Amino acid sequence: MTDTAVLADLEAEGDALDRVVRDLPPEVWRTPTPAPGWSIAHQIAHLAWTDSMALLAATDDAEFKAALDRAMTRLDGYIDRAAERGAARPDLLAHWRERRAALAGALAAVPDGTRLPWFGPPMSATSMATARLMETWAHGQDVADALGVHREPTARLRNIAHIGVRARDFAYRVNGRTPPERPFRVELTGPAGEVWTWGPADAGQRVTGPALDFCLLVTQRRHRADLAVTAEGPDADAWLGIAQAFAGPPGAGRAPGEFA
């Protein structure tokens, strides 16, 4: 059964972003965001498109694989083209709302033990919901940065941090490096002062800092130099330079001081 708490967090994250964009005048939807070439409309369109792909993965394995094959034949610029098409929709906000609602219902109905296909390795419905939450939060940060809006951090960050920690070895491999054999200790301070931990307490390689900063780091929404995330040990230090919580190739990230 899909974790209902994660599904509730996914819904809450979508609602939080919805409140930011729902009353924007049409011309403001064209405001550029920190992602080169992407406006606010592109960001929401991308979320709607990815929710649609996740919906296919949860409901129609064959059609998802067909869509994935089509994407692989035109991979260069595929994501940008999908965002461009979606950004031009006059019903973009309604479309995004419908897609994320349909996805939530589909994920709740996925039978126990089912692995859903995706652009990377197959995953459980709970992992898919967590990944969608992470991406909603990350692209929501781009929208907030474009509008100069401050977002209060919430306990939902733990889901994003968890993906970032679990994706450690993927980050090494996608950057052409061999992952360390031993696990790291990660200790993050949540918004209410609680401490979230991963890995053995006696690990020689350690990462500590605010959960918000760690999430901004692994989603590459801030440069490491602008965050209070620290590493103890050379392997942990190397990881912070390449960490990513998202599938696909390494991103360009953000420049140092871009949001100072």
Vertex 222 angle, CA 204 and 87, to 5°: 135
Q: Label residues 204-228 b or e (16+ Cβ within 10 Å = b).
A: ebbbbbbbbbbbbbbbbbbbbebbe
**Cα separation of 75 and 128, whole Å?**
22
Tell me: the pLDDT tens digits for 207-218?
999 999 999 999
- Between residues 39 and 74, which one has the greater pLDDT? 39
Tell me: the pLDDT tens digits for 102-129?
999 999 999 989 999 998 789 999 999 9
One-character DSSP codes across the chain: ---HHHHHHHHHHHHHHHHHHTT--GGGGG-B-SSTT-BHHHHHHHHHHHHHHHHHHHH-HHHHHHHHHHHHHT-TTHHHHHHHHHHT-TTHHHHHHHHHHHHHHHHHTPPTT--B--SSS-B-HHHHHHHHHHHHHHHHHHHHHHHT------TTHHHHHHHHHHTHHHHHHHTT-PPPSSPPEEEEE-TTS-EEEES-TT-SSEEEEEHHHHHHHHTTSS-GGGS--EEESHHHHHHHTT---SSSSPP----TTTT-
Of the candidates 212, 225, 205, 216, the residue with the CA atom closest to the CA atom of residue 245? 216
- The predicted pLDDT at position 120 comes to 79
Mean pLDDT of 45-51: 97
Tell whether the model's pLDDT for residue 75 goes beyond 70.
no
- What is the chain's mean pLDDT, rounded? 95
Mean pLDDT of 71-83: 80
Tell whether the model's pLDDT for residue 76 goes beyond 70.
no
- Between residues 23 and 253, which one has the greater pLDDT? 23
Residue 168 dihedral angles phi and psi, to the nearest 5°: -55, -55
Give the predicted TM-score (pTM) of the model.
0.95
- The predicted pLDDT at position 226 comes to 97
State what percent of residues in the chain have pLDDT above 90: 88
Tell me: the pLDDT tens digits for 142-196?
999 999 999 999 999 999 999 999 999 999 999 999 999 999 999 999 999 999 9
Mean pLDDT of 73-92: 88
Mean pLDDT of 87-98: 98
- The predicted pLDDT at position 260 comes to 72
Mean pLDDT of 66-94: 88
- The predicted pLDDT at position 148 comes to 96
